[in-house]
Amino acid sequence: MKSISIVLLGCNGVGKSSIIYRLVMNRYLDDVDYNPVIEDSFRTMLDVDDESYYVNILESIDDEEYQDLREQFIFRSNGILLVFSITSSLSFELLEEYFQSISKVNKETGIKKPIILVGNKYDSFKERVITREEGYILAKKFGSEYIEVSAKTGCNIKKAFCVLIQYIHKFEEEMELSLSLSSSKKEKPKKRNKNMKKKNNCKIQ
C-alpha cells in the first residue's frame, strides 16, 4: 500500500482543520471548539482508482513566525491543498503568498509539487464574495484544478483529496518516465567498427 503526504496551506479561519476532521472522522469541527497547535498531523486511508493509499495530512498554524515550518511541510509533502474561504477576500488575496512559498521550495528541489486550489465554505454561498470564475482564473495561474467544498456538509471534501492523489500519481509516473529516458541517454554509445569506412561528406565553409 502506497503512503503519501498532503499538506493544507491557507490563512487562519478558512477551515483547514475542519476539512481534515471531515475527511478523517466524518464530523464537522467548529473553529470555536478547536485550539490549533503549531503542527497537527493526521492519517487516514483512501481508495483511488482501485489503489489504496495511506494518507498523511499535515497542517500548521498560519503565522509569519512559522514560515520556515511551512516550507518544511511543503518539502515533506507529495502534494498541496491550497485553501481559502469563498466568504473572505483576504484569504483569497493571501494565496499568492503561499504560492510563492511553494514556488521557492519547487525551485530549490527542482520538483514541481501538484496543487489543488480549494474554496471552502460552499455552504455559505449567500455570503460569497469570491466568485467561482475568480477561483478558476487563479487556479489556471497556479497550474492547478479548482474545487469548491464544504467542511460543514462534507460536500466535495473526499473529492478534493482524491483528485490531488490522482495528480500526485500522474506526476510520479511522469517523473519515473523522465528518469528512465534520462538514464537511457547516458548509456555509453556502441564502439565504432574500425573497419567501417569513415564518411566525410560534410564540409565546413
- pLDDT of the residue at 204: 35
Structure confidence by residue, pLDDT tens digits, 16-55? 999 999 999 999 987 545 555 545 679 999 999 999 999 9
- The crossing angle, in degrees rounded to 10, of helices 67-76 and 95-109 is 60
- Averaged pLDDT score across all residues of the chain: 86
- pLDDT of the residue at 179: 72
- pLDDT of the residue at 14: 95
The CATH number assigned to the domain holding 41 equals 3.40.50.300
133 falls within a domain: yes
77 falls within a domain: yes
59 falls within a domain: yes
In this model, does residue 161 exceed pLDDT 50? Answer: yes
202 falls within a domain: no
In this model, does residue 189 exceed pLDDT 60? Answer: no
Count the domains in the chain.
1
In this model, does residue 120 exceed pLDDT 70? Answer: yes
197 falls within a domain: no
In angstroms, the CA 7 to CA 82 distance is 8
199 falls within a domain: no
In this model, does residue 7 exceed pLDDT 50? Answer: yes
Taking residues 71-99, what's their average pLDDT?
96
Which domain, by its residues, includes 96? 2-185
Q: Could you tell me the pLDDT band of residue 192, with boundaries at 50, 70 and 90?
A: low
In angstroms, the CA 65 to CA 83 distance is 20
In angstroms, the CA 169 to CA 178 distance is 14
86 falls within a domain: yes
191 falls within a domain: no
- pLDDT of the residue at 169: 92
Q: Which residue would you say has higher pLDDT here, 85 or 201?
A: 85
